[in-house]
Chains A and B, each alone.
Chain A
């Protein structure tokens, strides 16, 4: 940034301390103005203070001091005003990164439970597992691996947690493979490996993902509030306008002329850019708030519903595998049902009617499985849980489909909307910068004209 050229006129030679006594009252007024908050420049040495005192004793001295003050405050506006606008804009970028990370982490959570739902359900039919189910399991785990890598790149602060998660996922996958191998040979120990895999998944991997989600939601919320904040810009703008205005009033009084063209133009430039910037910030705050409560909330709610559905499906299968001992798994199912019921009750899920319908049908199908198993009709329960042409699979798939599209939409809209105010904010920052620089030049020239009159 080019500093404005110093005014050519070296009009104000330092006056000697004793010359031109002023009426005491006038001097006090000026002193009072000068001690306005924020206007006092940095620490002054005792000598400078003496010189300053001497300067302030004469009208041209005061005028030249106020000229310097006007230049300084305009620069403050140029830098701090543009800076705060730019800070809001970069908070948006970081908020977007953090919300993307939340979505990514939630996706890993859902995919792990999806894999577990596939693995446990396939176990019920042993070597006769459907190839599509196996493919779905493998695809889910592949997505988990690549998303862990992507998440570690996107947020270095998450790297340690993701590395630990990666170890847990590998342990899970290898236990599932042991279970599958034993199961295909008809050995009951396979069921124990599967149980161990599912238990460790829920005891290690999922709590880590909860940590990741909480940490990134907190980060996103902090950036959201940074992107919404109006106060710094408001303070800088009003302070600048106040100081320039006070200088203009003083100048008008001393010179008996209402308008100083340069100073007035400086005030106008700052005022226009201030109003534009403030309007931009207010609209950004609205966009951020509505995105947070709409697209972000929707994406989180939909992923939670999907995770709950996958977890219920896995626990349904585990309950059937632990023949006659399904109670602990059913407890987990009921917990998930409570979670989703409260999400649906809030009524903010996109495609709410279809999702609620699919959810209710899925729960009804699950209840059928449980009723048969509890009535010792285990074979029938397994048929209901594994058949591809009816039962809980069809209901599960319908729920999967009813939530998948709105989730993709919400995720895409989320990123677009959060980033949408970035360009206008950037332009507003440039305008504030230029306005501040222009104001310093205009104010300097305007006051210099009056100083000329004292020579």
Chain B
């Protein structure tokens, strides 16, 4: 063979080899991304922003309700909505299921329980002689007024603050609990009120009056969450230093965590709670006011307070006085 043809053979074989190697080349894949630019799976995370804080309406009679009936008559004889309730045979009440001590579901029994729930049970006892004749309807804070307006429920007991703005849409009973905004801190903290928490991170649910108040303190770092219980998780994970809200709600949080305390202090705001009714159910409101008067007088109010709130908030104060004349 000539040198030239040998060279040709070598070149051809070399080319063939190169072709073969490239064809059999191993697979080197790009690494799978660990972050996604646009996650294709959506999360079912609800972003409940809570009820928008009620717009303050200038007035001085938010706690003023309709005069109580002189005594508790037979419910059927009162007329209007209350007569319908008596005929139906049970009361429909809008309540919370996640506010410990006021209205929450006991996971062990499956039953709703708390201060608000017991007040409603007393109402059922007055109407039917049986505290169990209630259908509890769990509602969100934002649903409180709509469910009264569209008559899904007869009454709402869900730590609802009486405001002049809300009086435009619904009716309230006399004040049955006097709450106020306070703070919850770690055991051992010296802070007792918001100004003591300068530079600290404080949590409140988004869209609530508690958050509005919190933001008035510019030196405090406000952290939002979806609910107060969400704030407790952040608190337990060390992501916030304190929580602010109504003292009743904070008491419910403190009851779930032995290292959380609500220090004694003057409340930042006044939050008078009232039972909510449809605006047209004036007679029903007057009936409820008569019941609340009885409960204040005969110690039932104090007994309910002691049962739910005293362990966290201390001895029962005098029940809030009723203001009538609307």
B4 and A187 within 8 A (CB): no
CA A195 – CA B226 in complex, angstroms?
Answer: 11
A160 within 8 A of B: yes
CA A203 – CA B44 in complex, angstroms?
Answer: 9
- Extra 20 A-B pairs, beta carbons < 8 Å, given A72-B12, A182-B256, A212-B32: A41-B11, A42-B14, A51-B4, A65-B5, A68-B6, A72-B8, A82-B20, A83-B24, A157-B30, A164-B34, A188-B252, A189-B232, A189-B236, A202-B41, A207-B36, A215-B33, A219-B27, A232-B23, A328-B46, A376-B152
CA A72 – CA B31 in complex, angstroms?
Answer: 41
A12 and B39 within 8 A (CB): no
| CB-CB under 8 A for A126 and B107, given A76-B12, A376-B137, A378-B138 | yes
A208 and B233 within 8 A (CB): no
Chain A residue with the shortest CB-CB distance to B257:
A189
Within 8 A of A (CB), among B229-247: 229-230, 232-233, 236
A211 and B34 within 8 A (CB): yes
A324 and B143 within 8 A (CB): yes
- Residues of A with C-beta under 8 A to B6: 6, 68
CA A332 – CA B41 in complex, angstroms?
Answer: 10
Chain B residue with the shortest CB-CB distance to A208:
B34
B33 and A211 within 8 A (CB): yes
A223 within 8 A of B: yes
A96 within 8 A of B: no
CA A446 – CA B44 in complex, angstroms?
Answer: 77
Within 8 A of B (CB), among A1-51: 6-7, 10, 12, 14, 41-42, 48, 51
CA A377 – CA B24 in complex, angstroms?
Answer: 66
Max count, chain B CB within 10 A of own CB: residue among A126, A155, A192, A203: A192
| CB-CB under 8 A for A210 and B41, given A42-B11, A192-B233, A378-B138 | yes
Could you list 25 A-B pairs, sorted by A, with CB under 8 Å?
A: A12-B1, A14-B2, A64-B1, A69-B12, A72-B9, A79-B17, A80-B16, A80-B20, A84-B23, A86-B23, A90-B24, A126-B107, A160-B34, A161-B32, A184-B107, A189-B233, A189-B253, A203-B45, A236-B19, A324-B97, A324-B138, A327-B46, A376-B137, A376-B138, A382-B110
User: Chain A: residues with CB nearer than 8 A to chain B?
Assistant: 6-7, 10, 12, 14, 41-42, 48, 51-52, 55, 64-65, 67-69, 71-73, 75-76, 78-80, 82-84, 86-87, 90, 94, 126-127, 155, 157-161, 164, 182-184, 186-193, 195-196, 198-199, 202-203, 206-208, 210-212, 215-216, 219, 223, 232, 236, 315, 318, 322-325, 327-329, 331-332, 335, 376, 378-379, 382
A80 touches which of B4, B11, B23, B227 (Cβ 8 Å): B23
B105 within 8 A of A: yes
CA A327 – CA B4 in complex, angstroms?
Answer: 83
Report the minimal beta-carbon distance from A228 to chain B, rounded to whole angstroms.
Answer: 14
| CB-CB under 8 A for A328 and B98, given A76-B16, A158-B31, A208-B34 | no
| B interface size (C-beta, 8 A) | 65
Majority DSSP secondary structure for residues of A touching B: helix
CA A223 – CA B29 in complex, angstroms?
Answer: 11
Closest 7 CB pairs of A and B: A72-B12, A83-B20, A68-B5, A42-B11, A328-B46, A207-B39, A202-B43
Report the minimal beta-carbon distance from A63 to chain B, rounded to whole angstroms.
Answer: 11
B140 and A325 within 8 A (CB): yes
Chain A residue with the shortest CB-CB distance to B47:
A328
- Residues of A with C-beta under 8 A to B34: 160-161, 164, 208, 211
- Residues of B with C-beta under 8 A to A69: 8, 12
Report the minimal beta-carbon distance from B150 to chain A, rounded to whole angstroms.
Answer: 13
Report the minimal beta-carbon distance from B71 to chain A, rounded to whole angstroms.
Answer: 33
CA A263 – CA B108 in complex, angstroms?
Answer: 92
| CB-CB under 8 A for A199 and B11, given A6-B1, A182-B256, A232-B23 | no
Chain B residue with the shortest CB-CB distance to A444:
B1
B44 and A329 within 8 A (CB): yes
Report the minimal beta-carbon distance from B321 to chain A, rounded to whole angstroms.
Answer: 32
B32 and A158 within 8 A (CB): yes
- Residues of A with C-beta under 8 A to B32: 155, 157-158, 160-161, 211-212, 215-216
CA A72 – CA B106 in complex, angstroms?
Answer: 87
Report the minimal beta-carbon distance from B123 to chain A, rounded to whole angstroms.
Answer: 18
- Chain B 243-281: CB-based contact to A (< 8 A → 1; otherwise 0): 000000000110011000000000000000000000000
- Residues of B with C-beta under 8 A to A127: 107-108
Chain A residue with the shortest CB-CB distance to B232:
A189
B41 and A157 within 8 A (CB): no
B164 within 8 A of A: no
- Residues of B with C-beta under 8 A to A195: 45-46
Report the minimal beta-carbon distance from A62 to chain B, rounded to whole angstroms.
Answer: 11
B43 and A79 within 8 A (CB): no
- Residues of A with C-beta under 8 A to B45: 195, 199, 202-203, 328
